[in-house]
C-alpha cells in the first residue's frame, strides 16, 4: 500500500469514528457548538448540540501533534454507540502520544420544562412566545439559579425552597410560584431529592460523588443552552409576533440573563458552529500537515509540540483578556435590539430625573435648602445613567447625543 493510500485510509477511519461520535440514533448529525463562559470546565472542551442538547466533553489527556500526523485509534468506529445513548471513549493514538477522552452525554430532558420554546424559531407563534414571557421563562430562571448556586459553590449540599432564609437562592420565588416546574425539575434531575422539612429543601443525594458534580454541571449547561435558545427565538421573532409591552418584559428578563447566565451577551457563550466543528475535528483527527481543510482562521498548522503549546498558551491569554473586557463593557455588550430599547428606557429615566431635580430646586427655595443633599444625590444618579447611555451610544449609535440633566 502506498503512503498516500495509507494516509487516506487513516484519515477516513478517524473521520468515520468522529462521525459516529456525533450522530444520533435517527441518523442526523449533531449541530454542535463549543461552549464558553461561566460553568464550562477548564480542563475540557464542551460541545452541545443546539437541536438535541446532547453534549460532548472532550478532555485532552496528552497533547501531541507532530508534523503531518493524522491520529489513528485502535477503537473501531462500529463499536461507537449513537450519541443519544451516551458513552465514554478513550482515544489513544497509535502513531503518537496523543490521548483524548470523549464523554458523550445524553440530554437530561430539561427541555420539557419549557414546552413553549420550539427548537426551530420558524415554529414560534404569538401564543407560544407569549407563554414563554408570561410565565415559563421566569420560572425557568428561578430553576437556573438553583443550579447556579450549586455550581458556584462546590461545598453547597442543599438549597431551601423558601424565600425568607439567608441561604435561599436568588429569585427562588419565581419557581416557588410554579409547582409544576419545581416538581418536574426534581424528577428530571436525579442528583436531587426534595425534603419536606421546615423549610423544604432540594438536597444532593450523594454530594461527594464525582458523578453527582458531573450531572450538576450537565444540568447547568443544558439550562444555559435552553435560555440561549429561548432568547434567540424571541430576538428573531419578537418584533413580528409580540406587543411593545411584551418586548419590554423581555428586556427586563434579559437584564437577569446578562447578569449571571450570559455575562457579556448571548453570543459570548458559544463559538460559531463552523469554528466549533473544525476545532473538534482537529482535536480528534489531527492533520496531515496540509491546510486546515476548512479551518475558519486560515492560520498555518503548528509544526511541532512546542508550537502547539505556544498556541494553547496564546489562546488561554486571549480568553483571559476577552473575559476581562466582558467584565468592563457593561451595557455595550448587549445585542443591538436590546441596546436600543434599553437606551430608550434610560432616556425616560433621565427625563424623570431632570423633572425631579427641577422640583427639588423649587422645594429648596421654599425650605431654605433643606433638600440640597437629596438634589445632589439625584444629580449623581443622573450622571451614572448618562454614562450608561453614552456607553450604549459609543457602541451602537455613534451619531446620537445624550440629553443633559442639570
Q: What does each C-alpha distance from 325 to 10, 41, 47, 151, 398 come to in angstroms?
A: 42, 20, 24, 23, 20
Measured in whole angstroms, the distance separating CA 53 from the mean position of its chain's CA atoms is: 12
Written as one string, the DSSP assignment of 307-323 is HHHHHHHHHHHHHHHHH
Query: HSE of 117 in the Cβ direction (CA atoms, 13 Å)?
Result: 27
Q: In the chain, pLDDT over 90 holds for what percent of residues?
A: 44
pLDDT computed for residue 336 by the predictor: 64
Q: Is the pLDDT of residue 140 over 90?
A: yes
pTM of the model: 0.70
Give the tens place of pLDDT for each residue, 198-237. Answer: 899 999 999 999 999 889 999 999 999 999 999 888 888 8
pLDDT computed for residue 317 by the predictor: 52
pLDDT computed for residue 335 by the predictor: 65
204 φ/ψ angles, rounded to the nearest 5 degrees = -75, 135
Three-state SS for 103? strand
Three-state SS for 60? strand
Measured in whole angstroms, the distance separating CA 353 from the mean position of its chain's CA atoms is: 36
- What are the residue ranges spanned by the domains of the chain? 3-106+271-301, 110-268, 335-394
Q: For residues 248-277, give the mean pLDDT.
A: 90
Give the tens place of pLDDT for each residue, 41-81. Answer: 889 999 999 999 999 999 999 988 776 678 999 999 999 99
Written as one string, the DSSP assignment of 136-201 is IHHHHHHHHHHHHHHHH-TT--EEESSSSSTTPPTTHHHHHT-HHHHHHHHHH-TTEEE--SSS-E
Q: Is the pLDDT of residue 397 over 70?
A: no
pLDDT, the chain, mean: 82
Q: Which residues pair with 204 in a beta bridge?
A: 192
Amino acid at each position: 500500500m502506498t503512503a498516500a493510500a495509507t494516509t487516506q485510509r487513516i484519515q477516513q477511519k478517524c473521520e468515520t469514528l468522529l462521525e459516529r461520535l456525533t450522530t444520533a440514533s435517527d441518523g442526523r448529525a449533531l449541530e454542535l457548538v463549543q461552549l464558553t463562559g461561566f460553568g464550562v470546565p477548564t480542563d475540557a472542551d464542551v460541545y452541545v448540540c443546539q437541536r438535541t442538547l446532547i453534549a460532548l466533553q472532550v478532555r485532552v489527556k496528552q497533547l501531541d501533534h507532530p508534523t503531518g500526523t493524522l491520529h489513528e485509534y485502535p477503537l473501531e468506529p462500529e463499536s461507537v454507540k449513537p450519541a443519544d445513548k451516551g458513552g465514554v471513549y478513550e482515544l489513544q493514538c497509535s502513531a503518537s502520544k496523543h490521548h483524548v477522552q470523549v464523554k458523550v452525554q445524553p440530554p437530561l430532558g430539561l427541555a420539557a420544562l419549557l414546552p413553549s420554546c420550539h427548537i426551530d424559531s420558524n415554529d414560534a407563534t404569538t401564543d407560544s412566545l407569549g407563554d414563554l414571557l408570561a410565565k415559563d421563562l421566569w420560572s425557568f430562571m428561578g430553576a437556573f439559579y438553583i443550579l447556579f448556586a450549586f455550581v458556584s459553590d462546590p461545598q453547597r449540599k442543599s438549597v431551601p425552597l423558601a424565600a425568607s432564609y439567608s441561604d435561599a437562592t436568588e429569585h427562588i420565588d419565581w419557581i416557588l410560584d410554579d409547582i409544576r416546574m419545581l416538581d418536574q425539575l426534581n424528577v428530571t434531575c436525579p442528583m436531587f431529592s426534595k425534603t419536606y422539612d421546615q423549610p423544604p429543601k432540594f438536597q444532593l443525594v450523594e454530594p461527594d460523588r464525582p458523578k453527582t458534580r458531573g450531572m450538576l454541571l450537565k444540568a447547568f449547561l443544558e439550562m444555559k443552552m435552553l435560555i440561549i435558545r429561548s432568547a434567540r427565538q424571541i430576538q428573531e421573532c419578537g418584533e413580528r409576533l409580540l406587543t411593545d409591552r411584551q418586548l419590554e418584559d423581555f428586556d427586563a428578563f434579559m437584564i437577569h440573563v446578562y447578569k449571571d447566565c450570559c455575562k457579556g451577551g448571548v453570543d459570548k457563550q458559544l463559538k460559531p458552529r463552523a469554528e466549533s466543528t473544525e476545532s473538534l475535528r482537529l482535536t480528534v483527527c489531527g492533520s496531515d500537515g496540509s491546510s486546515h481543510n476548512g479551518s475558519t482562521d486560515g492560520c498555518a498548522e503548528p509544526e511541532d509540540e512546542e508550537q502547539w503549546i505556544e498556541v494553547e498558551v496564546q489562546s488561554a491569554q486571549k480568553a483571559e483578556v476577552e473575559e476581562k473586557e466582558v467584565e468592563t463593557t457593561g451595557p455595550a455588550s448587549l445585542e443591538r435590539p436590546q441596546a436600543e430599547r434599553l437606551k430608550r428606557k434610560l432616556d425616560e429615566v433621565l427625563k424623570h430625573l431632570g423633572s425631579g431635580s427641577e422640583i427639588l430646586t423649587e422645594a429648596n427655595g421654599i425650605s431654605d435648602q433643606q433638600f440640597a443633599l437629596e438634589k445632589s444625590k439625584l444629580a449623581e444618579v443622573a450622571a451614572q445613567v448618562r454614562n450608561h447611555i453614552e456607553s450604549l451610544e459609543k457602541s451602537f449609535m455613534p451619531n446620537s447625543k445624550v440629553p443633559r440633566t442639570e
